[in-house]
Amino acid sequence: MLEAALMGDIPRETTGSFEQVLRQREAQVLRTAFRILGNWADSEDVAQEVFLRLHRSGSKLVNEAAMGA
């Protein structure tokens, strides 16, 4: 669900836009992961994986909120 919410902010035309979203959301994702995991190193790994998955599947994910779900 977090991935879908983040993807709504990514215009699909340029890679630079993804980098902008990454900078805007990185701290939020890290804090959320840390609250869940309680370990900063693991939180960094999880955050990195989140953004890698978002980047790889960016054109395939649908923002459910934009679809009215």
pLDDT tens-digit profile, the chain (69 residues)? 455 555 555 445 545 677 888 888 999 999 999 999 999 999 999 999 999 998 888 755 545 445 554
Say which residue the tokens 């840390």 belong to.
Answer: 34
Q: Which domain holds residue 29?
A: 2-9+16-56
Structural domain count of the chain: 1
Look at residue 42 and tell me if it is in a domain.
yes
Q: Which two tokens stand for residue 23?
A: 């900078």
**Three-class secondary structure of residue 21 per DSSP:** helix
Per-residue CA distances from 25 to 10, 68, 69 (Å): 11, 23, 23
Look at residue 38 and tell me if it is in a domain.
yes
Look at residue 67 and tell me if it is in a domain.
no
* Predicted pLDDT of residue 38: 97
- Cβ neighbours around 33 below 10 Å, total: 22
Look at residue 50 and tell me if it is in a domain.
yes
* Predicted pLDDT of residue 3: 54
**Cα(61)–Cα(38) distance, integer angstroms:** 29
* Predicted pLDDT of residue 4: 53
Look at residue 22 and tell me if it is in a domain.
yes
The model scores a pTM over 0.85: no
